[in-house]
């Protein structure tokens, strides 16, 4: 369309310029030729009348004048049509090639897709489909680990687990074997395999889990999936042991609650009592934060510190960091969350539970503002303690 517009514009301008030039330049040249021819005829006539030219000589000179005037006009007309017109078309072709080359290079470098995505982001017109298409484009174009990882994460969020598995495999291909974050990437890959197999264990998942635990025996996600594999094979003791280790290294309350429920089921089916396998969590406090989002919504940099204080102590004996996505389920403070090995919930009968609001960007989260507190709670009670925060 751009080239066609240029050709049309060139045609209009050339026609206008050609008409103007022929009217002005062409008209002047014709007048000059006619004036020259008239003057030359008069001179020849005077020479003939004076007797210096014979009639045959004057006729020959008049014929020469006519021939010379006609030849000059033809040469000028030919030169304009061949040279100037060719140069114009040559310049038009060069401009067209430059425009097409610029547009092609712009598309090849990917700036068009980047610009459209940025504009949609600024105007809040992005849809999940547009995001997925853009991530697919970047992954195919650049092939970097982070691009494939973002695409895989997007597929997981959309429930497209098989596509996520493929994207994770692409990301792992690009990641060096000894990269620091490779274990975390393998853990998400193993989880995607689990989801893609309808939440069932599979040999492929077990192979990835084994690889992870060889590199990091404390990886909580891999330990959880190992427990799933053991449970599927009816090895309930192995499932209990794996899940208890997962609880030890998992700090998220929601994950711990799910693992405790799974352990209870494995104990029941395998008839495994607490004498055979001692519980890893012996004392716990279940806290429910009552947050009024209408009074103050969560901010992106908000973080809560929920901790238990023994009477007369300033140092918490159990503490959890809570982010917005963890606020809805229960917050579980356990004997595993101790800052000091000599003081845990197991050594204390009653504690005060404090809720402190901080910013994740602060250097010291303990300098936040206390927004809730509850005194004298039993450390091994099955009750859920609700704390309504004051914002």
Hey, where are the domains in the chain? Answer: 2-108, 126-270, 284-388
User: CA–CA distance from 308 to each of 106, 249, 268, 305, 315 (Å)?
Assistant: 59, 20, 32, 10, 9
User: CA–CA distance from 207 to each of 152, 180, 192, 366 (Å)?
Assistant: 20, 20, 14, 42
How far is the C-alpha of 308 from the C-alpha of 67, rounded, in Å?
117
Q: Which of 37-46, 80-89, 236-245 is most confident? A: 236-245
The tokens for 153 are 């994460």
Q: CB within 8 A of 232, min separation 6: which ones?
A: 200, 201
How far is the C-alpha of 92 from the C-alpha of 154, rounded, in Å?
47
169 band by pLDDT with thresholds 50, 70 and 90: very high
91 band by pLDDT with thresholds 50, 70 and 90: confident
The pLDDT value given to residue 363: 83
How far is the C-alpha of 135 from the C-alpha of 288, rounded, in Å?
38
Q: What is the pLDDT of residues 95-145, one digit of tens each?
A: 777 766 665 665 555 555 666 666 766 777 768 888 888 888 888 888 889
Q: What is the pLDDT of residues 223-258, one digit of tens each?
A: 999 999 999 999 999 999 999 999 999 888 888 889
Topology adopted by domain 284-388: Immunoglobulin-like (2.60.40)
The pLDDT value given to residue 277: 92
19 band by pLDDT with thresholds 50, 70 and 90: low
Radius of gyration of the chain (CA): 44
CA 208 to chain centre: 27
The pLDDT value given to residue 39: 79
42 or 173, which is more confident: 173
Topology adopted by domain 126-270: 1.25.40
Q: Which pTM does this prediction carry?
A: 0.68
67 band by pLDDT with thresholds 50, 70 and 90: confident
Average pLDDT value for residue range 265-277:
94
85 band by pLDDT with thresholds 50, 70 and 90: low
- Residue (of 124, 126, 150, 125) closest to 136 by Cα position: 150
3-class secondary-structure state, position 276 = coil
- The answer to whether the CB of 361 falls within 8 A of the CB of 334 is no
339 or 102, which is more confident: 339
Q: CB within 8 A of 352, min separation 6: which ones?
A: 308, 309, 311, 373, 374, 375, 376, 377
CA 153 to chain centre: 11
The pLDDT value given to residue 78: 47
The tokens for 4 are 């066609």
- Residue (of 10, 365, 195) closest to 2 by Cα position: 10
């Amino acid at each position: 369309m751009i080239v066609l517009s240029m050709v049309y514009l060139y045609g209009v301008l050339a026609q206008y310029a050609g008409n103007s030039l022929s009217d002005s330049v062409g008209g002047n040249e014709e007048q000059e030729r006619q004036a020259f021819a008239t003057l030359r005829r008069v001179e020849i006539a005077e020479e003939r009348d004076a007797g210096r030219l014979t009639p045959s000589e004057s006729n020959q000179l008049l014929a020469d004048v006519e021939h010379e005037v006609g030849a000059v006009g033809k040469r000028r007309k030919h030169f304009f049509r061949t040279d100037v017109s060719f140069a114009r078309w040559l310049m038009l072709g060069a401009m067209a090639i430059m425009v097409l080359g610029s547009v092609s290079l712009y598309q090849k470098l990917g700036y068009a897709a980047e610009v459209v995505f940025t504009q949609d982001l600024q105007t809040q017109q992005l849809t999940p489909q547009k995001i997925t298409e853009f991530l697919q484009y970047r992954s195919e174009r650049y092939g970097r680990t982070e691009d494939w990882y973002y695409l895989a994460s997007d597929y997981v969020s959309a429930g497209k687990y098989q596509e996520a598995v493929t994207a994770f495999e692409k990301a792992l291909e690009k990641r060096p074997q000894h990269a620091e974050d490779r274990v975390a990437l393998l853990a998400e890959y193993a989880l995607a395999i689990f989801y893609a197999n309808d939440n069932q264990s599979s040999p492929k998942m077990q192979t990835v889990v084994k690889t992870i635990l060889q590199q990091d025996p404390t990886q909580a996600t891999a330990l959880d999936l190992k427990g799933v594999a053991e449970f599927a094979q009816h090895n309930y003791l192995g499932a209990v042991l794996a899940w208890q280790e997962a609880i030890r290294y998992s700090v998220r309350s929601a994950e711990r609650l799910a693992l405790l429920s799974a352990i209870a089921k494995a104990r029941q089916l395998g008839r495994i009592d607490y004498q055979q396998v001692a519980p890893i969590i012996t004392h716990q406090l279940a806290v429910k934060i009552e947050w009024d989002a209408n009074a103050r919504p969560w901010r992106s940099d908000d973080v809560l510190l929920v901790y238990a204080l023994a009477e007369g102590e300033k140092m918490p004996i159990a503490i959890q960091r809570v982010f917005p996505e963890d606020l809805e389920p229960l917050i579980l403070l356990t004997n595993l969350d101790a800052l000091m090995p000599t003081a845990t919930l197991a050594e204390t009968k009653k504690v005060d539970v404090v809720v402190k609001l901080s910013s994740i960007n602060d250097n010291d989260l303990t300098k936040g503002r206390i927004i809730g507190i509850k005194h004298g709670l039993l450390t091994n009670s099955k009750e859920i303690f609700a704390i309504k925060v004051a914002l």
